[in-house]
């Protein structure tokens, strides 16, 4: 078991959280978006080995937040209550 830090509720069991994707992956807007740009938005991820910023949802309180976590060691550096839309 690992404890994840919800910025609204504090440390909670990892089973209370749902992964939402990489932070900073902003949906393209406008009618002139190329197919390659859409493909990059929908399907391609950086998937870094080290630290990465991820969007998570705490299912108990229903809030989304950004967590900085090392994908290889699972060490959580921090969590913040922003939406993760900014890069
Ligand atoms: Zn919470």
Which residues neighbour ligand 1 (ion) by CB within 5 Å? 6, 8-9, 58, 61
27-44 pLDDT per residue, tens: 899 889 999 999 999 999
The overall average pLDDT reported for the chain is: 91
* Domain boundaries along the sequence of the chain: 3-80
Cβ atoms of 5 and 11 closer than 8 Å:
yes
Between the CA of 5 and the centroid of ligand 1 the distance, in Å, is 8
CA dist., res. 27 & res. 55, Å (int) = 14
Between the CA of 6 and the centroid of ligand 1 the distance, in Å, is 5
Cβ atoms of 68 and 25 closer than 8 Å:
no
Please classify residue 1 by burial: count the beta carbons closer than 10 Å to its beta carbon, then call 0-12 exposed, 13-18 middle and 19+ buried: exposed
Task: Give me the architecture of the 3-80 domain, per CATH.
Answer: 2-Layer Sandwich (3.30)
> Residues in the chain with pLDDT < 70?
83-87
Between the CA of 40 and the centroid of ligand 1 the distance, in Å, is 31
Instruction: Report DSSP state, residue 30.
Output: S
Length of the chain: 87
């Amino acid at each position: 078991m690992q404890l994840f830090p919800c910025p609204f509720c504090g440390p909670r069991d990892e089973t209370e959280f749902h992964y939402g994707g990489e932070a900073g992956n902003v949906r393209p807007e406008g009618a002139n978006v190329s197919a390659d740009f859409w493909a990059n938005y929908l399907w391609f991820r950086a998937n870094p080995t080290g630290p990465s910023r991820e969007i998570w949802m705490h299912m108990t309180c229903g809030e989304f937040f950004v967590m900085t976590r090392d994908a290889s060691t699972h060490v959580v550096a921090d969590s913040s209550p922003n939406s993760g839309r900014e890069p």
